[in-house]
Amino acid sequence: MSEDRKPFRYEPIALSNESTVVAEFQPDAPSVREATYQSEAALEKAFIQQLQLQAYDYLTITSEVDLLANLRRQLEKLNKISFSDAEWERFFTTSIAGANDGFLEKTARIQEDHIQVLKRDDGTTKNVYLIDKANIHNNALQVINQYETPVGENAGARATCFDVTVLVNGLPMVQVELKRRGVDIREAFNQINRYQRDSFWAGSGLFEYVQLFVISNGTLTKYYSNTVRYGHLNEQPARRGKGGSKSKTSNSFSFTSWWADAKNQPITELIGFTKTFFAKHSLLNVLTKYCVFDVDRKLLVMRPYQIVAAERILQRIATATNHKQLGTVAAGGYIWHTTGSGKTLTSFKAAQLARGLPNIDKVLFVVDRKDLDYQTMREYERFEKGAANSNTSTAVLQRQLEDPNARIIITTIQKLSRFVTKNKKHPVYEAHVVVIFDECHRSQFGDMHAEITRVFQRYHLFGFTGTPIFAENSGTTGGPLRCTTAQVFGDKLHTYTIVDAINDKNVLPFRIDYINTIKTQATIRDKKVSAIDTERALLAPERITQIVDYIREHFDQKTKRASRYCHDGKRLAGFNSLFACASIDAAKRYYAKFAEQKKTIPEAQRLKVGLIYSFAANEEESDGILGEEEFETEGLDASSRDFLDAAIQDYNALFGTSFDTSADKFQNYYKDLSQRLKKRELDLVIVVNMFLTGFDATTLNTLWADKNLKAHGLIQAYSRTNRILNSVKTYGNIVSFRNLEQETNDALALFGNKDAKGIVLLKPYAEYYKEYEKRVGDLVAGFPLGKSIVGEAAQKAFIKLFGSILRLKNILTAFDDFSGHEILSEREFQDYQSLYLNLYAEFRSTSEAEKESINDDVVFEIELIKQVEINVDYILLLVEQYLKKKGTGDDKEIRATIERAINSSPSLRNKKDLIESFVDSVTTKTKVDAQWQSFVATKKTEELERIISEENLNAEATRTFIDNAFRDGSIAATGTAVTKILPPVSRFSKSNGHATKKQTVLDKLAAFFERYFGMA
């Protein structure tokens, strides 16, 4: 800030209901910004000064005693009471810092139970607010910095200093971690690793009340919830902290968020972020209104565009009500938020807030497909148990419409239409209702929509869509006054396009292969398969065979089956895919060809292929909107229904189910199929239109398309593949067997902007390969193999360079052109990878004080290394070769190859002593695999018994606990199972012995699990 611009203090006297997200942010002009070097300490000082200008009170708190005393004062002030010492002790130990409370319990207290009951000394009771959600400016905001956690018997193993903490009524609720400018922001994110055991739960555990994290290097700033933080900790199984839960993702950093203005312009500079996000009304609104603690016990914090959309819906309800516009298009509007941007959470929060408005009688959430009804219902239940009342019949819907306690109702437009047809007059038509359509599809443009809006008199109509209907893609169906989304729903209230989402990294870009020349057997290797626009030619048996051959040949490459990651508590290899066909006839032919080829393939190499379709009157619409497939199989011709029944029998044999095409069982088949897709239990599902809209599965990364797609339908279908999951999944893979290039460009221009192609699609292969050549050339020249990398600066440069090569290679491997064009030999790559992993191990083992300096700008791409893992089978093959050559002189080279392979593998390095011991002890050259299984079983038993003995554990319970861990693919860090294995220790002892013992045992068992998982 320049000298002539004197700082001023924002006083909290001018309070208003202004928007949480600023309409348009104007950053400081370049002349105003500091030009000199800024240390981390200076960055922290400037940040705190800005908070003080915004009326935050700065406190110097250095001990837990001071923190607790301040908490007591703030709660007394908020609630206008005075605690006696006895009352405070009682309230603190029961309602704030219970002995068994972890971060989940404390999060639930803030989000769901923020009014606690105080039992007073005279026997009366009083409600005590931890945070005032109705009148947010009654809450006190304070800031402290460099708070040092207590050390000792009742605390962590070592002191930890937190950078900056925002206290709300004395409770730590926002934690800010800073790095100096120029340092990778991911290192600020990774710094939480240093807090997991020694910090947040230490002492009274008040820092487990932190709801939000903010990370910044001054230039870039992001925020995220405590659930993302704990998910990140639990990605490292050997280091779970108190209160942890199963990891839901393999790359939690992907779920951090940018703050932005209402025009979706990111506000990344720390000071600009502070002026907007940390504005008192904005921060308190985010904490009290725009966090959702769902039934999975995950805290979801909304992104700025979601908050804007929810608030603009509320604003439109208020203004339309005041201006007496109910029952008109002017009373509603639509939200254009691209597919994959979290529309369900946004619509849920809008519905939840609308439900709370004093004049609103009902909120109807309307979907236009049964499968969306099912999926949306699950999503609503995930956000708030019982918030949504689903219905299975018109009679149930009628009861809910007549029940004043059923405030939010999910229904399909078809059921709502049937209710209207049967009830020409009904009191609900006079009620003040908010109607939210989940997806603005063609169904809302027809006669049903007109009938519903005719009978309801006092309504607000809102639509959510990722692909609006404009004049350009409106087609010729529907009434002339109901052709576009705006004509039906009214004003566009907010926009967040696919370009915005990809820029923000909230969804992935696409990589598209247009396959018009399909390489199969040598005899037809150069034969072109043109997408001739006649169904007869497209369904030629030769073409079907060639496409199936291509998919089988490239399946592992496109879905990255060599990559291993943890998802929903399970270890998975690679991703899965959908195959979109032009017709039911095509779907049948492709399924039959896959089934035929299975017979000639070993079982381990067979793809698990599913099939689903149902009757649709118009399988392809001229305007690009995908035809609606319901669950009505009765409309299928006999041949198609019989074929589908046979395919479902194949599915039943594979998974032990009992579905068929009868009405109820077919609907349950759809549900089961969708869940197995999400869990990656199926490799490929052949569809016509089903699953191409409204279906989300993060494990899907590839769409095989032999179908004409355009406009709305093309974006919807492509978007099945681009949900973020982990660092290996960097794009959605589209393999098109028809030339859809022009249709793709047109759709991106329509739903993004004229420059969308350069953002939404990956660059051409040649650009990535050119950069790859340069990076590998720099690696070989700067870090030749055989020469030590000396010095911290050189080590950091190597880590950064090799990490960039790993990221480039991860993209290049999906290009067919990359095969055979690797620059480094397999052995050279292994050697470089070993160096990389050695540095990773070395940096992780350094002392805490050293980490603060040496790890400042080090980010390791371990997840990308895991996709080129060496597995045990390969090692055993080398062992067989070693035994056969033993004593001939060639055995030394093979032994060196074994060591090199182990050193280059993240998952085998902790098993190195096991493998080497096995190689030394194996006696015969045959049945090496059986000898290995026996050897591992023995060692596994020995090591587990040693842990049981050393920690004095319940032997039987521990063996069961470990058996369950190997069955489930992860160690259960929470729940009663872990408690059963521990020796008796008082939970309430002052030394916190139970928590310390539990953590020690979990660490040992987690290390044991990692060592033996997948070994036998």
Residue 76's CATH number: 3.90.1570.50
Q: Which positions ≥6 away from 975 have C-beta within 8 Å?
A: none
Does any domain span residue 27? no
CATH of the domain at 482: 3.40.50.300
Residue 231 · residue 189 · CB < 8 Å: no
- What is the total residue count of the chain? 1016
The answer to whether residue 41 scores a pLDDT higher than 70 is yes
Which stretches of 323-393 are DSSP H helices? Answer: 343-355, 370-383
For residue 71, the model assigns a pLDDT of 97
The answer to whether residue 162 scores a pLDDT higher than 90 is no
Task: Give the rounded percent of residues in the chain with a pLDDT score beyond 70.
Answer: 79
Domain with 877 in it: 872-926
Number of domain units in the chain:
6
CA–CA distances in Å: residue 1004 to residues 352, 431, 910, 944, 994? 45, 61, 13, 10, 16
Does any domain span residue 205? yes
Does any domain span residue 8? no
The helix (H) or strand (E) run that includes residue 320 is helix 304-322
Q: Please indicate, yes or no, whether residues 104 and 213 belong to a single structural domain of this protein.
A: yes
Mean pLDDT computed over 350-364: 90
Q: State pTM to two decimals.
A: 0.78
* One-letter identity of residue 726: N
DSSP 8-state class, residue 528: B
Does any domain span residue 19? no
Q: Please indicate, yes or no, whether residues 645 and 701 belong to a single structural domain of this protein.
A: yes
For residue 199, the model assigns a pLDDT of 61
The rounded distance, in Å, linking the Cα atoms of 755 and 1007 is 49
For residue 431, the model assigns a pLDDT of 93
Strand blocks (E) in 597-727: 609-611, 684-687, 700-706
Q: Are strands 141-148 and 57-58 parallel, antiparallel or unpaired?
A: parallel
Last residue of a domain, one of 441, 467, 496: 496
Does any domain span residue 931? no
Last residue of a domain, one of 444, 466, 496: 496
Q: Please indicate, yes or no, whether residues 728 and 675 belong to a single structural domain of this protein.
A: yes
The rounded distance, in Å, linking the Cα atoms of 240 and 281 is 35
The answer to whether residue 316 scores a pLDDT higher than 80 is yes
Selection from 434, 510, 501, 426 nearest residue 719 by Cα: 510
Q: Please indicate, yes or no, whether residues 776 and 854 belong to a single structural domain of this protein.
A: yes
Q: Please indicate, yes or no, whether residues 519 and 483 belong to a single structural domain of this protein.
A: no
Does any domain span residue 2? no
For residue 442, the model assigns a pLDDT of 52
Residue 815 · residue 559 · CB < 8 Å: no
The rounded distance, in Å, linking the Cα atoms of 444 and 203 is 57
Q: Please indicate, yes or no, whether residues 880 and 967 belong to a single structural domain of this protein.
A: no
Q: Please indicate, yes or no, whether residues 54 and 152 belong to a single structural domain of this protein.
A: yes
* One-letter identity of residue 83: F
Q: Which positions ≥6 away from 890 have C-beta within 8 Å?
A: none
CA–CA distances in Å: residue 561 to residues 554, 573, 978? 10, 5, 33
Q: Please indicate, yes or no, whether residues 895 and 1002 belong to a single structural domain of this protein.
A: no
The rounded distance, in Å, linking the Cα atoms of 572 and 730 is 17
Question: Exposed (0-12), middle (13-18) or buried (19+): which is 240, by Cβ within 10 Å?
Answer: buried
* One-letter identity of residue 182: G
Least-confidence region, from 125-134, 357-366, 426-435, 464-473: 464-473
Structure confidence at residue 200 as a pLDDT band (50, 70, 90)? low
Does any domain span residue 563? yes
Q: What φ, ψ does residue 335 adopt, rounded to 5°?
A: -110, 120
The rounded distance, in Å, linking the Cα atoms of 339 and 980 is 45
Structure tokens at 529: 């398969």
Last residue of a domain, one of 926, 949, 969: 926
Q: Which positions ≥6 away from 579 have C-beta within 8 Å?
A: 551, 590, 684, 685, 686, 687, 703, 704, 705, 706
Selection from 406, 427, 426, 407 nearest residue 418 by Cα: 426
595-606 per-position pLDDT tens digit = 998 888 888 788
Highest mean pLDDT among 9-13, 14-18, 132-136, 184-188: 132-136
For residue 623, the model assigns a pLDDT of 57
Provide the 10 A C-beta neighbour count for residue 985. 14
Q: Please indicate, yes or no, whether residues 349 and 450 belong to a single structural domain of this protein.
A: yes
Where b means 16+ CB within 10 Å and e means fewer, 405-439 reads ebbbbbbbbbbbbbbbeeeeebebbebbbbbbbbb
Q: Please indicate, yes or no, whether residues 794 and 856 belong to a single structural domain of this protein.
A: yes
Q: Please indicate, yes or no, whether residues 147 and 117 belong to a single structural domain of this protein.
A: yes
* One-letter identity of residue 422: K
The helix (H) or strand (E) run that includes residue 156 is none
CA 31 vs. chain centroid, Å, equals 39
Q: What φ, ψ does residue 841 adopt, rounded to 5°?
A: -65, -40
Q: What single string gives the DSSP state of each residue in 250-286? A: S-GGGG-B--B-TT--B--SHHHHHHHTTSHHHHHHH
Q: Please indicate, yes or no, whether residues 131 and 241 belong to a single structural domain of this protein.
A: yes
What average pLDDT does the structure give for the chain?
81
Where b means 16+ CB within 10 Å and e means fewer, 119-138 reads eeeeeeeeebbbbbbeebee
The answer to whether residue 138 scores a pLDDT higher than 90 is yes
Does any domain span residue 278? yes
Which of residues 657 and 934 earns the better pLDDT score? 657
Residue 631 · residue 614 · CB < 8 Å: yes
Ramachandran bin of 245, using left for φ above 0, alpha for ψ from -120 to 50, beta for the remaining angles: beta
